[in-house]
Amino acid sequence: MELERKEYIQKLIRKKDNGRVKIITGIRRCGKSYLLFELFTRYLRENGVAEDQIIGLALDEYRNAKYRNPMELDHFIREQILDKSKRYYILIDEIQFVAEIQNPYIDDPSAKITFIDVVLGLMKIKNVDVYVTGSNSKMLSSDILTQFRDRGDEIRVYPLSFAEFYEAYEGDRHDAWVDYYTYGGMPVTMALLSHEEKSQYLRDLFTRTYLKDVVERHSIQNNTEILADLLNIVASAVGSLTNPAKLSNTFDSEKHIKISSATIDRYLGYFSEAFLISKAERYDVKGKRYIKTPAKYYFTDVGLRNARLGFRQQEETHIMENVLYCDLLRRGFDVDVGVVEYNFKNKEGKSSRSQLEIDFVVNRGNQRYYIQSTLSISDPQKRIQEIKPLTNIPDSFRKIVVVGNRMNPWKDENGILYIGIEQFLLDENAIDM
């Protein structure tokens, strides 16, 4: 089974030979290595690049542990790019494995050599084009903005979208949707047949890869069980507003564990850096300002979320919301949770106000969309409840209700578009219907 990852290949092709380092980020095992070493390498070969002009190195492999030393890495690459008449393509996988070392030539403990020095040095060589992958956003994104000095292009890779998943799926579209919201889009799961195999693979990813990476990177020795419990709590609360203080109280009341909100906040940051979860801030539509707390957390892959809970909490409405959030991010939108103030007369005839929640406020450039996610609108009262926040928004940007069951897209008297989740995910132009 070939997963083409067309969206990402096209991004790499457009940025090829542009004089900047291409930094491919995303959660581990989402397909970054396959994208770089299989799909992109094949493209290079098919377009006349000889084998000796492609230098690839996977730093998460034990046999390449020597090159996690930045000086050894630099020496290894430079000794293979000696012919100035050739153009070389340097592909380095999981660059965050490169250690920070003391500069042996300077008697100053603060003088360090990192992978940044290696990459910046290679970029100065005119016949070299550099590509790196990384699975830690703090290490890479901050360096892109500062030390690369606007000389890096970040390409964020996600697990398979539903459109990619369905393209490779053998079966009915609705069956594909059920499998997707159950097992998610981690590429390896598509090659596994049984529930037991998929479940075991996803659980192992957590314990042997993600949690292990977080623990080792941040030298966490005593709180590994708390990390695991925190993931479980966040997984259970997908689509619900929360904050570190509330999560700290949950540990206290349910597990009788005292852990500060500051520690909780730090651990949530670790999970975000590893691309396991994303935080959606609240945005006051009328006040045009952000509300820092509470917020919502979504998993980068719903299959990982479901496996974390042993596939016990399969509320399609929350899972659907998580899938929708991730797909909007993949499309390049900035996504917030919306709040709109609603003024009304109460039963006593007195003026009152409340806050209505909009699932997603979606922005890209000067484009904005307001999106509600709901499993069904078959009950007229349910539909009125769902669109109430949308009808109270004081602007004319497009408003959409994405529905869990199949339906032909239609618009109501308020101009609100109603569309089924499967069609919305498969047709990126549907957002502008």
Domains and CATH numbers, the chain: 6-156 (3.40.50.300), 160-433 (no CATH)
Q: Using CA atoms, how far apart are residues 225 and 357, in angstroms rounded to an integer? A: 34
Query: Residue 156 — left, alpha, or beta (φ > 0 → left; ψ -120 to 50 → alpha)?
Result: beta
Of 429, 407, 427, 428, which is closest to residue 419 (Cα–Cα)?
Answer: 407
Closest by Cα among 312, 180, 183, 293 to 236: 312
- Listed in sequence order, the residues at least 6 apart from 82 whose beta carbon sits closer than 8 Å to its beta carbon are none
- What does the chain come to in residues? 433
DSSP state of 305: H
Contact (Cβ atoms closer than 8 angstroms) between residue 325 and residue 280? yes
Look-up of token digits 């709590």: 233
The reply to whether the predicted model has a pTM over 0.75 is yes
Sign of CA dihedral 120, 125, 128, 129: positive
Q: At what angle do helices 70-78 and 115-123 cross, to 10 degrees?
A: 20
Q: How would you write the pLDDT of the chain (433 residues) with one tens digit per residue?
A: 688 999 999 999 999 999 999 999 999 999 999 999 999 999 999 999 999 999 999 998 999 999 999 999 999 999 999 999 999 999 999 988 999 999 999 999 889 998 989 998 999 999 999 999 988 766 665 555 456 666 788 899 999 999 999 999 999 999 999 999 999 999 999 999 999 999 999 999 988 889 888 888 888 877 888 999 999 999 999 989 999 999 999 999 988 899 999 999 999 999 998 899 999 999 999 888 998 889 999 999 999 999 999 998 778 889 999 999 999 999 999 999 999 988 776 777 677 778 899 999 999 999 999 999 999 988 888 898 889 999 999 899 999 999 998 889 999 999 999 999 999 999 999 998 8
Which residues fall within 8 angstroms of residue 128, CB to CB, at 6 or more apart?
Answer: 81, 87, 88, 89, 90, 122
Q: Cis (ω within 30 of 0) for the bond into 294?
A: yes
